[in-house]
Structure 1
């Protein structure tokens, strides 16, 4: 049986990094305000656990994005398909990622995609042409590496 999954990214600023990746991928930021409201009403979380953004409550230390075509659990706002979860951790990034995301823009759109991502806050690390692949290795605003092919 196949398992459901999500990719979890440790980071310093989950909300900011979720916004970057939502813009980069064309994904949507999950709206967990209904879940937070339920947890607050039940006394399970206090005001230190959330912030208000654009008139809704969002977890301070967790933010997720999801593919816009995938279903959402109405009671929680959690995506039920392709998603990335960004969670705050106390330690800063130290070394190269062992897992990274590849964005497939295609040869004709690669440079324009790279420039768009630089405009969102990414950094070009290097251009790579090896093993039959041509891609740009970049870093997101917190230094997490990813490739644009």
Structure 2
């Protein structure tokens, strides 16, 4: 049996990081259901402390997801979730943003202008990539 999965990314500020990654990938931030959130708070299933306002919208404080604009059939959901500790070591798993061989440098430069940090360039045989850090220091590669 095959399973579906989502990618979870630890974050200090999941909503801001979700916004950055949604723009980076051309994806969309999952919309918030403010009426549902208010209803759960009113019914005592959640508290106001579980929520916050982000970009003028009531959201769950602990996390924010992004999705491919064509839905889960196209790509897995990515969930950014709050964790109490700061990132301290290299990621053991990371995303490769595949842009095509001709656009690696151009896209890497655009992402650096938007808040990514350059880490290093890599090459194995005919394959090359640029490793960057997102605004919270998570490694990812721009590759073919």
TM-score, normalization: structure 2?
0.90
The reply on whether 1:98 has 2:92 as its aligned counterpart is: yes
Give the secondary-structure state (helix, strand or coil) at the position aligned to 1:108.
Answer: helix
Inter-partner Cα distance in structure 2 for 1:102 and 1:15: 21
Stretch of structure 1 that moved more, 11-20 or 32-41: 32-41
Task: Name the counterpart of 1:52.
Answer: 53
- Shift in Å, 1:29: 0.5
The aligned counterpart of 2:79 is: 85
Q: Quick check: 1:33–1:56 contact (8 Å CA) kept in 2? A: no
Partner residue, 1:23: 23
Q: Partner of 2:137 in structure 1?
A: 143
Mapped contact 2:15–2:54 kept (Cα < 8 A) = no
Note the alpha carbon deviations across 1:82-128, whole angstroms, 9 max, x for none. Answer: 21001111111111100000011111111111112112211110111
Q: Which runs of 5+ in 1 are unaligned?
A: 72-79
User: Structure 1 residues 81 and 108, CA, compared in 2 at 3 Å: closer, same or farther?
Assistant: closer
Which stretches in structure 2 are left out of the alignment for 5+ residues? Answer: none
**SS of match in other structure, 2:102:** coil
Q: Could you list the runs of 4 or more consecutive aligned residues of structure 1 that deviate by over 3 angstroms after TM superposition?
A: none
Q: CA deviation at 1:81?
A: 5.8
* Contact 1:30 1:66 (C-alpha < 8 Å) held by counterparts: yes
The CA deviation at 1:12 is 0.7
Match of 2:128 in 1: 134
Instruction: Indicate whether 1:3 and 2:25 are aligned.
Output: no
Output the TM-score relative to the length of structure 1: 0.87
What is the aligned partner in structure 1 of residue 68 from structure 2? 67
The Cα of 1:60 is off from its aligned counterpart by 1.2
Q: Using the alignment, how far apart are the partners of 1:43 and 1:118 within structure 2?
A: 44
Question: How well do the aligned residues superpose, as a CA RMSD in angstroms?
Answer: 1.9
Give the secondary structure class of the aligned counterpart of 2:78. strand
Give the total of aligned pairs: 142
